[in-house]
Structure 1
Amino acid sequence: MFHRIAELTIRRPRLVLIVAVVGVVLMGAVGAGAFGKLQGGGYDDPSSQSSRATQTIEKKFGGETNLVLLVRPSQGGVDTPAAEKRGRELVADLKKEQDLENVVSYWDTNSPDLRSEDSREAMVLAHVKGDDIEQRENAKSITDEHAATHGDDFTIQAGGTAAVGNDMGEQSNKDLVLAESIAIPLTLLLLLIVFGTVVAALLPLAIAVIAITGTFAELFLLGSFADVSISAINLTTALGLGLAIDYALLLINRFREQLASGATVEDAVRKTVNTAGRTVAFSAATVAAALAALMVFPQYFLRSFGYSGVGVVAIAAISSLFVMPALFVVLGHRVNSGKLPWAKPGQRAETRTSLWGRLARTVMRRPALTALPVLAVLLVAASPLLGINFGTPDERVLPKDAQSRQVAEALQKDFGGNDDTALHIVVDKAVDKAPLASYAAELSGLKGVARVEASTGVYTDGQDAASGPGNAALGRPAAQQLNVVTSLTPRSDAAQDLVEEVRAVDPPTGTQPLVGGTDAALVDAKDSIGDKLPLAIALVALTTFILLFLFTGSVVQPLRALVLNMISLGATLGVVTWIFQDGNLSGPLGFTAQPMEVSMTVLMFCIAFGLSMDYEVFVTSRIKELHDLGEENESAVVNGLGHTGRIVTAAAFVLAVSFFAFGVSKVSFLQMFGIGSGLAILIDAIAVRGVLVPAAMRLLGRRAWYAPGFLRTFHARFGLSEGGDEPASAPASASVPAPGAAGAPGGPGAAGEPPHVKDSTRV
């Protein structure tokens, strides 16, 4: 297959490039509509009890409270005649809004729970209609409109989930623009430093444009008939650029090596596609397998990253295999045009004696002495995982000056229970007053419950508070809603325990209440992701094992790769937990410590695992190629890392920069994702590829290439090796194979090792 791709691009390079340009134009036209098809939210499992409660309340009662207006009179308290008059006018105006339902305030209920303890502030509660994005936009427009209209009388601040979502969205957009303004110039500068020539440095951008526009088109099509998160756009741009750089680095480096060795342009393209092109294909398959595991989760926020991730990986790989060789044919030796002052004159001589080759040789001489300290540091870095806790995004991910965060803190501090974070219980059938009252009273007696609001009354400490007849809006002929208002910190362990206790209370006979609300949604999200996580990990491990076996012909290499990658990821997640959950570096980074965001942690794991396997394939491919050509195991590792170490490190630093740029974000879970992903890339590229891989290969020796006889037979028939299915013509300057060819001790053909491919070209 790879030989045919090479021959196509050699015979018809301009046709391939024309097709690519037309494809980009068409995909760009389709993908431009992706933003209108994508949605916000998607953090909840639609089949969970909390999601079903939300849907039922939406249908039967007009929706849960998702907008809280904190109103403060310009003069005096909320009970003055002037404030009461103006407050009623404000509420009347809000009730006229078509996008609001269930508007409730202190001034039309006289409920002391909607008034601050110092009587200086009052709450107006409402439900904003629409999907997640519409709720955010409507909450902002309504708040801004009435803040302007009634600004002389009141200071109005917006809180609640709709306002928090709007503030998150606006701040995230600002942060993304800032991050890209930092990352793009630095990326271009690093590309110039790495490639050393202007022309070569610009080539990855062609692949990035194709990958990103193609994935936008994919998201448009998927968004037309499925729920797809708008957050997938961010992954598309970051991963599209990163993978384009990774694959272009590998292909350009190999093409330039071949030219430097004296090969013709055509033979250089053939060898590049049959070796580095094959590596790109397998690398893409491993990354896609890791990201595809996100599709097993019911939350469309996570599934969307699977859609976009697999799409961008596939398109980046396919365009690299076709477009890059066509560009090589058209450019030829001009790929080295625009040489910069720091560029080295040749590639061939440097690779064998590179820093990474020398490091690999040192490690293999004393594998235990060099690897054990690195392993110890990584295990210590992973130790904070022993105390990891998980949560979902709330107002604390925002900076302290965000309006919705200030409202949430005021409600928690100055009001007797936060209605916005109440548990919402819905009974989807008729219930008699007596059993409903008994149920509400029992709920109010639970520890941490401030009050229970029902159509039959308001209950505290296990009995009717006798503060009024109850909220008639909470009762319907065929349904009942109860609001369990707590004094607990939202999303705390105690608040989550209360969810379980509420669900354990015996309901009225013949009913099956559904418990919703923010704390219930958190409990359900953790349970849902926890239930699917073993399956996702198993799929990632299994597909990675199969792909690496097909690539190497060994059952040991996949196991070695999985173990080292898990150590690397454990260290990364441990450091991120130490920073963002335990609060270390919270001062310099400007965030509030809180539990690890569960969806973002899973996403970071899958992306970091996929990219680490990307570099695994880069390194292993060259080691195996040299091993199959007859080099001893130690020599193959040293020379293989000598060839690829610089590529992997350069690709890692360029990609890490694009992720680290998110460290300037003022939304803490974006900081966590960016810093964690960048850190994972560098740990893997330096500590694992530079030290642990050569140490493991030295300790394993010839066993590193072991496979049972029946699997060797299977691989010989179905496996794909780095050497290529069609050898390129050897250039005149090619050296002869090293001793240890077929049948030699330690060479290909030794017991337990796959036979080497027919390729006499030494690189």
Structure 2
Amino acid sequence: MFARLARGVTGRPRIVLTVALLFVLGAAVLGVGAFGKLLSNGFDDPKSDSTRAANEVDTRFGGTPNLVLLVTARSGSVDDPAVAAAGRSLAAELGKEPGVRGVVSYWTGAGAALRSTNGREALVVASVDDDHAKAVATKIEKAADDGPVTVRPGGRAGVNRDVNAQVTKDLSTAESIAIPITLVLLVVAFAGVVAAALPLGVGLIGILGGFAALSVIGSLTDVSIFAVNLATAMGLGLGIDYALLMVSRYREELAAVRRGSAEPLTGIQKRAAVIATVRTAGRTILFSGATVIVALAVMLVFPPYFLKSMAYAGIAVTLVTMLTAVLVLPAVLLLLGERVNALPVRGLIGLVRRQRTAERGAASDVPREATESPFWRGVATRVMRRPLLAGLPVVALLLLLAAPVLHVSFATPDDRVLNAAPSRQVGDVLRADFGSNVSGAMNIVVNGPTSEATLTSYAAALSRLPGVGRVDSAAGAFQHGARTSPPGPADARFAADGATYLQVVPSIDPMSASGERMAHAARALPAPPGTQVLVGGVSAGLVDGKHAIGSRLPLAIGLIALATFVLLFLFTGSVVLPLKALVLNGLVLGAVLGVSVWIFQDGHLSGLFGFTPGPLDTSMPVLLFCIAFGLSMDYEVFLLSRIKEEHDAGTPNAEAVAAGLARTGRIVTTAALLLAVTFAAFATGSVRFMQMFGLATALAIVLDASLVRGVLVPAFMRVAGDVNWWAPAPLRRLHNRIGLSEGGPAAGPTAPETVAVPRPSAEPDLGLTEKSSSTAS
């Protein structure tokens, strides 16, 4: 299969590159338009009661208050004539802006609830269409610069504006950090500029392809702005992973073809090296990409479009990057030939050292990827001498790191995910200086006719619930079961034909366990006779969001486990190795989630990263699980591919494991380091859950590439022995028929073009004698 693919690509390399260039240009044009189509929401279940309630309020009652303007007197109090006049003027001007509805303020009869306890701040509250919210908030904020008051926008509209701006800024910062470091590390890893540039090229094509996909999908459905971060990180990271594997294997094949000859390689020899590279590394990349795509696709089962957006971006980037590595990169390698080693960097003393080949008579300029890593062979050898003694402490460490998961708590994002922004400042003032939080109100829609007496009774009952500060309704305002003010002109907004809604303003943090209990209590309260009630708002959205994630989590875990098992079975023919991969990945994911709780919920290292500790975002563990799982399987496939090559060639189990780790250890370590740098750069941002995502993903990559691949995999495979490759007879026959392998007919036609390289005999002593640098094709 892959030999035929490689012959097709290498037969017309310039045509392949021309098509690739046209794709890049088209993707760049499409991708530019993606940013204007992306949204900053997407954490709610669109079919939940809370979302239905929000839609009802938007369509029938003028919208929920999503823009909160915190008006602060520069001197005196908000009741001073000049300040009051400025407040009334501000409310009037806000009401004239496009997309603005239902403006209410302290100075227009809304009551003392919109005045701070110290008397220096008051609120103007309105509902603004999402399309106009950013422009309105910015204009109003600037218009008050020179007056007797200062104005800071908050509420959901203000948070969305600040998050969008911060994400754009953080992405630029992360790229400015990650790309230069990545380029330097690539030059060091490849000891040459030309070879180092290839992974960045593959990554750039993947990123552009992801942006183009987001632009198209964003025209059809809602897509989250945070998908841009994932597209950038995944494109750069997977581009490095796949190109590193392809280029390293190609340089290894070149060294094997040359076999000590000083003569320039012929076109046939170069093409044979490319075909051998695609037949081995290309197959690995296909399976690796498939496992990543499967892991990402699982996010599509969850309702919030934040997670769906991450799936769209990740799948598109992975697919484009994978195809670029398998189709475009071989054409580039064929045209470059030995010039892939051009512009060597030998002057980095202490950083770049070429290893001498272990094969007698090989050329002195063979790149170091063509040799085994003595370090990783030594690690594998020592681990397999005492596998239980080496492996059990690592398992214990991972379980210890996972322990904080036992007290994890969840919430949906609010202004506190921002480190410093106007909307965060408004939120802090609302929580500290106002008796109730209007931006965190529950919105209860009552569909059906209600009399004044019935509505009064229902509103009074709501006001008696624990955590409720007051209830605003068409029947007036209520506190602690009693009406505190009769209905006024401003309360007309709560009534519509055949329906009404009530605004339940909490006296507690709506993003807390108490807020959840308040929402449950409101839903448990009997509805007025002959009506149907929908409970929405912040606390109800949190309840519904947790249910949307939790109820589908078993299905998601089952799907990802089944799909991964099937893919690894097709890859290896074993039922034991897929189970091993699932268990080890589960250990890593548990450890990473535990560390995330310890840092971002419990607050350790908060001073270093500059965030406010708080519950984890409901969607983030799912995102972390899918991304980290996919990337972990990436390296699993890298390692198993070389172990399987050795095993299929008749090498005993222990030596096959040692040789596989020796031949991939450097590649996996380098790729993991580069990918970890890419994700860790997001920890420098100012949006808490993206900081967590970047740091946790980087940690998962490092743990997987070091402790799992270096210790647990060889320990397990040593203990399991030949059982590693076991499968029931029916499944073995099935694999012989449908398993993707180059050992069948597809491998035959490449024989005339591939230089056969002698293989040294297997060592029974777990590789204490270093093996040849020749390929195991």
What TM-score results when the alignment is normalised by the length of structure 2? 0.92
8 Å Cα contact 1:197-1:338 kept in structure 2: yes
Q: Which range moves more in the overlay, 58-67 or 171-180?
A: 171-180
8 Å Cα contact 2:448-2:530 kept in structure 1: no
Match of 1:734 among 757, 760, 767: 757
2:162 is aligned with 1:141: no
SS at match of 2:47: coil
2:507 is aligned with 1:487: yes
Q: How far has the Cα of 1:443 moved from its partner? A: 0.9
Matching residue of 1:530: 550
Matching residue of 2:433: 414
SS at match of 2:450: coil
| Count, aligned residues | 740
Q: Deviations for 1:495-534, whole angstroms, at most 9, x for unmatched residues?
A: 1111000110001012111111111111111111111111
Q: How far has the Cα of 1:670 moved from its partner? A: 1.5
- Alpha-carbon distance between aligned partners in 2 of 1:736 and 1:485, rounded to the nearest angstrom: 76
Match of 2:375 among 328, 350, 355: 355
One-letter code of the match for 2:205?
I
Matching residue of 1:130: 130
Matching residue of 1:53: 53
Q: How far has the Cα of 1:736 moved from its partner? A: 4.3
Pair 506,208 (structure 1): closer, same or farther in 2 beyond 3 Å: same
Matching residue of 2:473: 454
Matching residue of 1:182: 177
Q: Which range moves more in the overlay, 616-625 or 234-243?
A: 234-243
8 Å Cα contact 2:39-2:223 kept in structure 1: yes
Q: How far has the Cα of 1:39 moved from its partner? A: 2.9
Matching residue of 2:94: 94
2:604 is aligned with 1:599: no
- Alpha-carbon distance between aligned partners in 1 of 2:271 and 2:303, rounded to the nearest angstrom: 49
Q: How far has the Cα of 1:436 moved from its partner? A: 1.1
Q: Deviations for 1:17-38, whole angstroms, at most 9, x for unmatched residues?
A: 1221122122222333222333
Matching residue of 1:221: 216
Match of 2:524 among 492, 499, 504: 504
- Alpha-carbon distance between aligned partners in 1 of 2:635 and 2:412, rounded to the nearest angstrom: 31
Matching residue of 1:753: none
Match of 2:311 among 303, 306, 315: 306
- Alpha-carbon distance between aligned partners in 2 of 1:665 and 1:723, rounded to the nearest angstrom: 48
2:614 is aligned with 1:619: no
Matched ranges for 1:149-160 at <5 A: 151-160=146-155
Q: Which range moves more in the overlay, 574-583 or 134-143?
A: 134-143
8 Å Cα contact 1:629-1:738 kept in structure 2: no
8 Å Cα contact 2:130-2:157 kept in structure 1: no
8 Å Cα contact 2:443-2:504 kept in structure 1: yes
8 Å Cα contact 1:360-1:637 kept in structure 2: yes
Q: Deviations for 1:467-505, whole angstroms, at most 9, x for unmatched residues?
A: 655822212232111011111123011011110001100
Match of 2:162 among 157, 160, 167: 167
Pair 723,612 (structure 1): closer, same or farther in 2 beyond 3 Å: farther
Matching residue of 1:239: 234
- Alpha-carbon distance between aligned partners in 2 of 1:229 and 1:406, rounded to the nearest angstrom: 24
- Alpha-carbon distance between aligned partners in 1 of 2:369 and 2:451, rounded to the nearest angstrom: 87
One-letter code of the match for 2:727?
A
One-letter code of the match for 1:719?
G
Pair 554,737 (structure 1): closer, same or farther in 2 beyond 3 Å: farther
SS at match of 2:532: coil
- Alpha-carbon distance between aligned partners in 2 of 1:33 and 1:81, rounded to the nearest angstrom: 48
Pair 429,12 (structure 1): closer, same or farther in 2 beyond 3 Å: same
- Alpha-carbon distance between aligned partners in 2 of 1:733 and 1:560, rounded to the nearest angstrom: 34
One-letter code of the match for 1:101?
R
Q: How far has the Cα of 1:761 moved from its partner? A: 7.0
Q: How far has the Cα of 1:176 moved from its partner? A: 1.4
SS at match of 1:69: strand
Q: Deviations for 1:325-358, whole angstroms, at most 9, x for unmatched residues?
A: 1111111111111111124143579743521111
Q: How far has the Cα of 1:631 moved from its partner? A: 0.1
Match of 1:393 among 391, 413, 418: 413
- Alpha-carbon distance between aligned partners in 2 of 1:480 and 1:118, rounded to the nearest angstrom: 34
- Alpha-carbon distance between aligned partners in 2 of 1:613 and 1:351, rounded to the nearest angstrom: 24
Matching residue of 2:298: 293
Q: Which range moves more in the overlay, 452-461 or 222-231?
A: 222-231
Q: Which range moves more in the overlay, 479-488 or 624-633?
A: 479-488
Match of 1:346 among 337, 341, 366: 366
Q: Deviations for 1:191-214, whole angstroms, at most 9, x for unmatched residues?
A: 101111111101112212222222
Match of 1:560 among 564, 580, 598: 580
Q: Deviations for 1:628-650, whole angstroms, at most 9, x for unmatched residues?
A: 00000000000000000110000
8 Å Cα contact 2:104-2:110 kept in structure 1: no
- Alpha-carbon distance between aligned partners in 1 of 2:232 and 2:485, rounded to the nearest angstrom: 58
- Alpha-carbon distance between aligned partners in 1 of 2:687 and 2:271, rounded to the nearest angstrom: 50
- Alpha-carbon distance between aligned partners in 1 of 2:206 and 2:162, rounded to the nearest angstrom: 30
Matching residue of 1:429: 448
- Alpha-carbon distance between aligned partners in 2 of 1:629 and 1:492, rounded to the nearest angstrom: 59
8 Å Cα contact 1:363-1:691 kept in structure 2: yes
Q: How far has the Cα of 1:99 moved from its partner? A: 2.6
8 Å Cα contact 2:449-2:530 kept in structure 1: no
8 Å Cα contact 2:448-2:532 kept in structure 1: no
Pair 89,697 (structure 1): closer, same or farther in 2 beyond 3 Å: same
One-letter code of the match for 1:522?
L
- Alpha-carbon distance between aligned partners in 1 of 2:106 and 2:573, rounded to the nearest angstrom: 72
SS at match of 1:431: coil
- Alpha-carbon distance between aligned partners in 1 of 2:228 and 2:537, rounded to the nearest angstrom: 28
2:278 is aligned with 1:278: no
Q: Which range moves more in the overlay, 99-108 or 672-681?
A: 99-108
8 Å Cα contact 2:449-2:499 kept in structure 1: yes
Pair 77,731 (structure 1): closer, same or farther in 2 beyond 3 Å: closer
Match of 1:574 among 588, 594, 607: 594
8 Å Cα contact 1:199-1:338 kept in structure 2: yes
Root-mean-square deviation (CA), in Å?
2.0
Q: How far has the Cα of 1:86 moved from its partner? A: 3.2
Matching residue of 2:78: 78
Matching residue of 1:751: none
8 Å Cα contact 1:289-1:540 kept in structure 2: yes
One-letter code of the match for 1:327?
V
Pair 320,455 (structure 1): closer, same or farther in 2 beyond 3 Å: same
8 Å Cα contact 1:451-1:458 kept in structure 2: yes
One-letter code of the match for 2:232?
T
8 Å Cα contact 1:255-1:272 kept in structure 2: yes
Matching residue of 1:205: 200
- Alpha-carbon distance between aligned partners in 1 of 2:243 and 2:369, rounded to the nearest angstrom: 21
Percent identity of the aligned residues?
A: 50
Matching residue of 1:471: 491
5+ long unaligned stretches in structure 1: 747-759
One-letter code of the match for 1:675?
L
- Alpha-carbon distance between aligned partners in 1 of 2:147 and 2:368, rounded to the nearest angstrom: 75
Matching residue of 1:402: 421
2:246 is aligned with 1:251: yes
8 Å Cα contact 1:356-1:645 kept in structure 2: yes
Matching residue of 1:382: 402
Q: Deviations for 1:266-305, whole angstroms, at most 9, x for unmatched residues?
A: 2211111111110000000000000011111111111111
SS at match of 1:226: coil
- Alpha-carbon distance between aligned partners in 1 of 2:141 and 2:38, rounded to the nearest angstrom: 25
Q: How far has the Cα of 1:686 moved from its partner? A: 0.4
Q: Deviations for 1:361-410, whole angstroms, at most 9, x for unmatched residues?
A: 110110011111111111100111111111111111112x4221221121
8 Å Cα contact 1:294-1:306 kept in structure 2: yes
One-letter code of the match for 2:679?
F
Matching residue of 1:749: none
Match of 1:191 among 186, 195, 209: 186
One-letter code of the match for 2:239?
A
